[in-house]
């Protein structure tokens, strides 16, 4: 009878140890998921920062100057653009405005 009682007590002890171990695992998993969530948050912030940098790298809309005598397009700061006579020059806020028009692009406009 006593041996049987001891067996039951031992079984309970083992069950208790198992439960404690499981709790540890649960707590560890909770900590890990919190860690993963905060890492994810940091990654999202980094991603936003990178997206902002990419936006800044996009070429800004550059004003362009058209020489109406030869229909050549220049950047506003181009040496040749500065020498176009006022009556022959037309300024646009960007090359986009001239889309569809037959114009030559000066080397200052890039390839
Ligand atoms: Zn030019």
Q: Per the structure, how many domains does the chain have? A: 2
Give distance in angstroms: CA of 53 to centre of ligand 1.
Answer: 29
1 and 53 fall within a common domain: yes
Indicate if 52 and 72 belong to the same structural domain: no
Find the 5 Cα to ligand 1 centroid distance in Å.
99
Could you tell me which of 64, 74, 80, 61 has the C-alpha nearest to residue 105?
74
Handedness of CA 40, 43, 45, 51 (dihedral sign): negative
pLDDT at position 1: 62
Residues 44 and 7 in one domain: yes
Å from CA of 54 to ligand 1 middle: 27
Q: From ligand 1's centre to the CA of 56, what distance in Å?
A: 24
Same domain assignment for residues 50 and 5: yes
Q: What is the 108 CA–ligand 1 centroid distance (Å)?
A: 4
Q: Tell me how far the alpha carbon of residue 67 lies from the centroid of ligand 1, in angstroms.
A: 10
pLDDT of residue 111 exceeding 60, the answer is: no
If residue 102 lies in a helix (H) or strand (E), which one and from where to where? none
CB 89 within 8 A of CB 81: yes
18 lies in the same domain as 2: yes
In angstroms, the CA 92 to CA 90 distance is 7
Residues 24-60: pLDDT tens digits? 999 999 999 999 999 999 999 999 999 988 877 766 6
Residue 108 burial by Cβ neighbours in a 10 Å radius (0-12, 13-18, 19+): middle
Q: 83-105: per-residue pLDDT in tens?
A: 999 999 999 998 888 889 999 99
pLDDT of 75 higher than 70: yes
Do residue 49 and residue 11 come from a single domain? yes
Instruction: Among 58, 75, 99, identify where a domain stops.
Output: 58
Structural domain that includes position 15: 1-58
Cross-strand bridge partners of residue 74:
65
Asked if residue 45 and residue 73 are part of one domain, the reply reads: no
């Amino acid at each position: 009878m006593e041996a049987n009682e001891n067996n039951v007590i031992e079984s309970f002890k083992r069950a208790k140890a198992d439960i404690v171990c499981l709790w540890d695992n649960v707590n560890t998993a909770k900590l890990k998921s919190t860690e993963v969530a905060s890492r994810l948050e940091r990654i999202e912030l980094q991603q936003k920062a990178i997206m902002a940098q990419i936006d800044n790298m996009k070429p800004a809309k550059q004003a362009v100057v058209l020489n109406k005598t030869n229909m050549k397009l220049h950047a506003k700061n181009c040496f040749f653009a500065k020498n176009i006579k006022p009556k022959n020059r037309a300024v646009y806020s960007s090359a986009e405005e001239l889309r569809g028009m037959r114009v030559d692009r000066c080397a200052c406009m890039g390839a």
